[in-house]
Copies of this chain bind each other. A is one copy, B any other.
Amino acid sequence: MSARILVVDDIPANVRVLEAKLLAEYFDVLTAESGEQALSLAQNENPDLILLDVMMPGLDGFETCRQLKNDARTRHIPVIMVTALDAREERLRGLEVGADDFLTKPVDDVTLFARVRSLVRLKGVMDELRNRDHGHQVGRDIAAGVDWAAHAVIIASSAKRGERYASALPAFVTYEVESDAGAAFAAVEDGADFALVDLSSPDFDGLRVCARIRASAKVRELPLIAAVNSDDVAMAVRALELGVNDFVHRPIDSEELTVRVKTQLRRKHFADQLRESIDERLELAVTDALTGLSNRAFIGARLKHFIDSANSGGAPVSVMLIDIDHFKRVNDTHGHEVGDGVLQAFSRRIQRSLRALDHAGRWGGEEFVVVMPGAGLAEAETAAQRLREAISGREVVLDDLVLPITASFGVAQVNPGEDMASLLRRADMALYEAKSEGRNRVEAAASAAA
């Protein structure tokens, strides 16, 4: 998969070397010669990844990375820091300011491209969600603070080896050690914030466990950190290709493991929050806040769908309009809060009486609608009678108040070629008839369009 990569280095020759390598792999390349220019391009040019030199005059790589990761507009762009120095302190500092990886020049091409592809792939998936933003600031309000407390599953060839890995984990992580592939997978499914997988033991196929996790719809998103021998580049590359998020070299540097764990927890935090934020809004969009039933827009769309389907030769569909009798009196006598309580109790009774296929919604005020796919008029009428009895047969009790509640029903089945407005008009006329015939009644619309 191609991607747009921003290369940042104050020395033009370094830029050209990386640019040439990336172009040969068919990446699209942007270049910047300073941290300031990098920030501006990151905000305006949608790069998918940033290769960032550490030592630059003005804004250096650390500060540039820190600013990129503190800005909601650029936080999602992966950053790989590149340096001429192989100093541990530098690497830790880079990872601490939020870099996704830290590579040393001259950069090993195989590792670089495996890492780039892995980060770009992850970003592509999250972009689909981020793109749903469209100015609604989905994800913009995500709290920057991450709760580091986390649970890890350590997957190693033996309990003893696993405990050695555990001793390198930061104190904020609780853990369990698994040395059997099946048990490890079960532990992950039981709930974990990340897994640390040993890929350095010849007698244990840790990659297989990683692959199984990535192939499972349920735990596919789990952050995976692999431990590999420092000379085993091939294993590190294979792990990245299979979807491992990050790796550490053995023997394990506890401080480096800690910052890499934090990077993964931070990434997971933002991804989870973004999904939740979208899910909540999708839920909000289809739900009536007071009753929890579908709202008018959503139930209308459902009804239209089933009418279209019936009109294209599919199953019939019937609709039930329900209006609570003398609801205004409840409101006037007992106040709005009691009125709301009645609407909620009423909605629960509707919900309980539905068949599995039926959809109930609040149409507005004290009016409700039930869409019954597959139901003919007689069936709908029977269902309405049953619901009418369930409602009139038992009072609504709110604190000290005992309120006898009844409702009137109009049912109609869609006629061939009939549209939604016409169907609802007929159901509404039947409902009107039920009201004028004395309420607490069900009336069915004749099949000829009125």
Give the interface of A toward B (CB within 8 A): 1-4, 26-28, 46, 48, 121, 124-129, 131-132, 134, 136-138, 141, 207-208, 210-212, 214-217, 241-243, 275, 278-279, 281-286, 289, 297, 301-302, 305
Contacts and interface: CB of A to CB of B under 8 A. Distances in A.
Contact of A283 (B4, B136, B289): B136
24 contacts: A1-B121, A1-B214, A2-B212, A3-B215, A4-B217, A26-B208, A26-B242, A28-B212, A28-B215, A28-B216, A125-B125, A125-B128, A128-B128, A128-B129, A131-B275, A132-B275, A134-B282, A134-B283, A138-B282, A141-B302, A281-B281, A281-B285, A284-B285, A284-B286
Contacts of A278: 132, 278, 282
Contacts of A215: 2-4, 27-28, 48
Nearest 6 Cβ contacts at the A-B interface: A28-B215, A285-B285, A2-B211, A26-B211, A281-B285, A2-B214
A253 B423 CA distance: 50
Contacts of A217: 4, 46, 127
B210 A2 contact: yes
A137 to B, nearest CB: 8
Contacts of A121: 1, 121
Given A124-B125, A132-B278, A278-B278, 8 more contacts: A4-B216, A26-B211, A27-B215, A28-B216, A126-B128, A136-B283, A281-B285, A285-B285
A282 B281 contact: yes
B275 A241 contact: no
A77 to B, nearest CB: 12
Contacts of A284: 285-286, 297
A303 to B, nearest CB: 11
A136 B2 contact: no
A132 B284 CA distance: 13
A246 to B, nearest CB: 15
Contacts of A129: 128-129, 132
Contacts of A2: 210-212, 214-215, 242-243
A326 B286 CA distance: 33
Most B CB contacts (10 A, CB to CB) among A208, A215, A279 go to A215
Contacts of A132: 129, 275, 278-279, 282
A235 B209 CA distance: 33
Contacts of A305: 141
A339 B212 CA distance: 60
A278 B129 CA distance: 10
A27 B282 contact: no
Contacts of A282: 132, 134, 136, 138, 278, 281-282, 285
Contacts of A214: 1-3
A137 B199 CA distance: 41
Nearest to A215: B28
A101 B26 CA distance: 25
Contacts of A207: 26
A70 B362 CA distance: 32
B3 A136 contact: no
Interface centre among A2, A28, A127 (most CB of B within 10 A): A2
A301 B143 CA distance: 13
A28 B136 contact: no
A211 B27 CA distance: 7
A105 to B, nearest CB: 24
A51 to B, nearest CB: 15
